[in-house]
Chain A
Amino acid sequence: MNTMLLPNLLDVSFCLVALFIAVRSFDIYASLRQSRLFILGLSMLLVSLSTAADFTASYVKVVALHTDWFLYIGQAVGFLFILLSLVPGSDRYLQRLMNLNVLAFVLLLIPLLLSAALPTLDPTARAVLGSVRLFSCLFILIAYFSAYTNKPTSFSLLMSSAFFFFTVDYLLNFTQYFVSDASQYFFRDVGDITGVIGLVMLVAAVSLD
């Protein structure tokens, strides 16, 4: 079996799902002006771009594109902003968060555009950025699970499940660098499968009416 099949499948599906959520968020934001929707849209656009860049880089052979920087930072920042938007806050807080999100988005285009010039992402940086991404997902999972325990809805249950699988995916992804080479593929593949399950849950959650 092609060893890149699962990671590529995850990249493409993640990219498309995140893009769909981003477009839908901006569409509704245009009429409702709910700041949380804008933050969700921009964060998902960032996540979508980062997975698209990762997928593209694996096929471009002319130059070595080090898109891992953008992939890890982009996803960490994207999830972090989603987490921050879930925190109950005033309109002013959400407005500031929106502005900060726009600024972060623009700044993050720099590592994307400079991906050919950047060095390879070393294991320490990978571990640090991976842990930010992991903990952001974990806290989003806690936020949704807490929302579910306070007011049980199908949406919060599915979102909790989705972020549970993403957290497991990122945890396995994070752990693979600390295990033997033989086990690395197992950790990565199981991680990718949980990631795909998480995506299915996410799609189910946002399709609820």
Chain B
Amino acid sequence: MDRSDDILSQRNTRGYRLIIFRQLQQAIEAMHRPEEVLQWLASLIVQRFDVAIVQFWTCASRLQGQPSAQLRAMAGQSSFQPAYLAGDKVAITIEQIARGQHTSPAQPVEQVFPLYLASLLQRYGLSYCAYCSVDRNVRFVSGEDTLPQDTSMGLIFVALLLFQRYPDHSLISTVGAVLEQALVLAERHGLLLPVSSGPLLAPQDAFSQEPLSVLSHLVPRRKQVAGLMLSSNPFAKSITISDKQALRLYEAIDGQLTVGQVCRRIGMTLDEAHIAFQVLLGLQCVELFTQEGEPVDADILFKNS
């Protein structure tokens, strides 16, 4: 079994993401620029997940009529990396990726890049690529950008992964989740600044408030367990909600009401709901969203519990 299989076949991928998150929590204290966070992440992905080359790009979240893709960090298994990977031609492809689907599984490079660029990549044995993007309402500190940046506009972070052989299919979703966590941490440490947006409360701002007060304004939704029936026994005890309070809360979730409203309906205090949510999130059967419908990283909300 190769190294990537070893990592990804672990029963608890969520647990592994938490390990990376905690390592980054420590490492970020010594970082001063968001590029350092991305560089740390790129090196870790290359080292741990057997990826030949990892790049992190950013693009403006809305089309500006001029190219906005910028390479922020890059790491590779070999010290010799093709120079054209940082060039304009790749930037054009990244711009297209940022406007398209958020995640793409590994596919042959010729399906993503122009043919001449794909054949250059193939000469280095880079036959497959995968990508994921994360759209966030953040900006870099002024002066850090080589391109002019609209401070009222968020950024799309694109992770581009190049492989010599076909990778595990769950790798890209793991990278997406890790990138999202890293960006939230970078925001919390002031390495990324919030855009001067309207009155809506961005999730990252919400985390700086009291956790219970934040929780009461979030909207819980029931989640269909992805691996249920395929890789996990639906009748196993670990799947069922044995905690009575958690079950009561779970049954009251309708996907519309906020946590505060659900608690009022079933006569549960926020403290009790907080504990019940930890049980439900542990079973991966609920998700939390802001009232605007943005998903919230519950790991951060419950990190001190």
10 tightest Cβ-Cβ pairs between the two chains A and B: A147-B230, A155-B233, A208-B233, A153-B231, A147-B231, A151-B231, A156-B231, A209-B236, A36-B229, A206-B235
Interface mask (A12-55 → B, CB under 8 Å = 1, otherwise 0): 00000000000011001001111111001000000000000000
Q: Is A152 an interface residue (CB 8 A)?
A: yes
Q: Which among A69-77, A84-92, A124-132 touches the partner chain?
A: A84-92
Q: Is A144 an interface residue (CB 8 A)?
A: yes
- For window 195-229 of B, CB contacts with A under 8 Å fall at 222, 224-229
Tell me, in angstroms, the Cα distance from A58 to B237 when the chains sit together.
Answer: 39
- Please determine whether B9 and A28 come into contact, CB atoms closer than 8 angstroms: no
Interface size of A in residues (CB-CB distance below 8 Å)? 31
- For window 79-101 of A, CB contacts with B under 8 Å fall at 85-86, 88, 91, 94
Interface of A toward B, CB cutoff 8 Å: 24-25, 28, 31-37, 40, 85-86, 88, 91, 94, 143-144, 147-148, 150-153, 155-156, 205-209
Q: Is B281 an interface residue (CB 8 A)?
A: no
In the assembled complex, 21 residue pairs joining A and B whose CB atoms fall closer than 8 Å, in A order, are A28-B234, A28-B240, A31-B240, A31-B241, A32-B240, A34-B225, A34-B228, A35-B224, A36-B229, A37-B228, A40-B229, A86-B230, A94-B224, A144-B230, A147-B230, A148-B231, A150-B231, A151-B227, A155-B231, A156-B230, A209-B237
- Please determine whether A150 and B234 come into contact, CB atoms closer than 8 angstroms: no
- Please determine whether B235 and A24 come into contact, CB atoms closer than 8 angstroms: yes
Name the distance in Å between A35's Cβ and chain B's nearest Cβ: 6
- Please determine whether B169 and A32 come into contact, CB atoms closer than 8 angstroms: no
Question: What is the size category of the interface that chain B forms with chain A?
Answer: 20 to 34
Q: Is B24 an interface residue (CB 8 A)?
A: no
> Contacts A37-B228, A150-B170 known; A31 to B247 CB distance under 8 Å?
yes
Name the distance in Å between B230's Cβ and chain A's nearest Cβ: 4
- Please determine whether B233 and A32 come into contact, CB atoms closer than 8 angstroms: no
Tell me, in angstroms, the Cα distance from A156 to B233 when the chains sit together.
Answer: 8
Tell me, in angstroms, the Cα distance from A38 to B271 when the chains sit together.
Answer: 32
> Contacts A31-B250, A34-B224, A91-B224 known; A143 to B234 CB distance under 8 Å?
no
Tell me, in angstroms, the Cα distance from A206 to B234 when the chains sit together.
Answer: 8
Q: Is B2 an interface residue (CB 8 A)?
A: no
- Please determine whether A37 and B234 come into contact, CB atoms closer than 8 angstroms: yes
